[in-house]
Structure 1
């Protein structure tokens, strides 16, 4: 390479360097801002996770402290004072309040708590269906048969979160109506359902034997 070519190359390199520095001075703040946003966003995300964890732990501790009291009235009163700031927390408190009320024989209060969850559009759908199922179990004998059967059928639809439990209630309702054959067929079907817990399966097998049937495979 001649001295002229070398000089031209050096000049071109300087020009490129000057242009690069000029671009950095003009637009470099964008890169710095991007780095700050990325780092700040990660820190904010971690803070939110830590905050959510702390709030969940505080909520759980408050519930345990309430349930640890020996006096049923005191338990119910303390549960009523626990704040519910996250989705689902209010429903969980209502379920606990319903259990306390039912234990004390206050069925009206238990029903009111469950109806509150069942009718709460902001509660998770699984919680609302659980509240409806609990209401049917609690009020079942006093409900009109058609209304009870219709609501149980909706909860026992394929894919419903509490389908096995709803089917169990359908079977018990058939037994109460004297429809033994229908009840036996339903319990036989339930015994083959996926997702049936060990406790529920045991109850189902017992009902099959009581109704004069024989569990499949035995």
Structure 2
């Protein structure tokens, strides 16, 4: 008899539990369904967006390759549709400037690069790369004050192209005939972390060209004094 009572109580409890769950589902089930639907739609949208991004990148890449084979490569590269991306437009302008520099149009290349940098102010890597290339393209023809201003900004600690900008400062000092300042700056650069092997080699070659032994780079540390400007 006790077993029958226990079984009856268990059945009633189970029925009550099912009834309670059913009422909860009727009241809140739509929230669960909406959450599931949101997850499914979100995943589908992310996949669609990724596919669209890859497609646009492929189309843009094919257009760049085609433009580089055109008779007027500068005009063709400038006309490439960036597919709505300011970064892509800046990259195509940098490529166009490279061909202008190859043709001896250094000043035009520099102006194009500065314009490209101005168009991607919110992207520090692309902006700094375009400005650095502008300095390199213009060379000694760039106004000394403008060059020093640009290189001072690009060579700040932690900047994306800090070491390359410092190298260009040294090149400018050499061009200005300031041999000792150039040797001192090269020495400071050589003590910095993160030097690539090509950059290390170029710095050593500059030291030798200046008549100093490469080991003379063991001078004041990079924080001991500010790098000289080329003015």
Indicate the structure whose relative CO is greater, using CA pairs within 8 Å and at least 6 residues apart. Answer: 2
The equivalent position to 1:81 in structure 2, one of 67, 79, 82, is: 79
Q: Separation in 2 of the partners of 1:95 and 1:76?
A: 10
Judge which range, 57-66 or 120-129, deviates more. 120-129
Partner Cα distance (1:193, 1:46) in 2: 43
Partner residue in 2 for 1:169: 168
The CA deviation at 1:192 is 2.8
Match of 1:130 in 2: 129
In the other structure, the counterpart of 1:24 is 25
Match of 2:225 in 1: none
- Asked if 1:110 is matched to 2:135, the reply is no
Equivalence for 2:48: 47
Matched, 1:56 2:57: yes
CA distance in structure 1 between the partners assigned to 2:216 and 2:54 by the alignment:
47
In 2, distance between residues paired with 1:137 and 1:6?
90
Instruction: Check 1:113–1:146 CA distance in 2 against 1; reply closer, same or farther (3 A cut).
Output: closer
Change in 2 beyond 3 A, CA 1:188/1:122: closer
Measured on the aligned residues, the alpha-carbon RMSD in Å equals 2.3
Take 2:151 and 2:76, find their aligned partners in 1: how far apart are those partners?
33
Q: Deviations over 1:94-125 (max 9, x none)?
A: 10111122222333432332121222255511
Deviations 1:2-49 (A, max 9, x none): 544543442232122122122223322222222221122112212211
Q: What corresponds to 1:98 in structure 2? A: 97
Residue pair 1:102, 1:110 contacting (<8 A) in 2 also: yes
Instruction: Give the conservation status (yes or no) of the 8 Å contact 2:87–2:120.
Output: no
Change (3 A) 1:81 1:49: same
Matching of residues 205-216 of structure 1 within 5 Å = 205-216=204-215
Provide structure 2 residue ranges, at least 5 long, that are not aligned to the other structure: 218-231
Any conservation in 1 of the 2:155–2:166 contact (CA below 8 Å)? yes
Distance 2:48 2:16 in 1: 46
Contact 1:91 1:127 in 2 (8 A): yes
TM-score scaled by structure 1?
0.86
1:126-174 Cα offsets, whole Å, 9 max, x none, are 1111222222223342344344323322211111111111111111221
CA distance in 2: counterparts of 1:123 and 1:173, whole angstroms: 28
SS in structure 2 opposite 1:88? helix
Describe the shift of the 1:79–1:148 C-alpha distance in structure 2 as closer, same or farther (beyond 3 A).
Answer: closer
Whether the 8 Å CA contact 2:183–2:207 is kept in 1: the answer is: yes
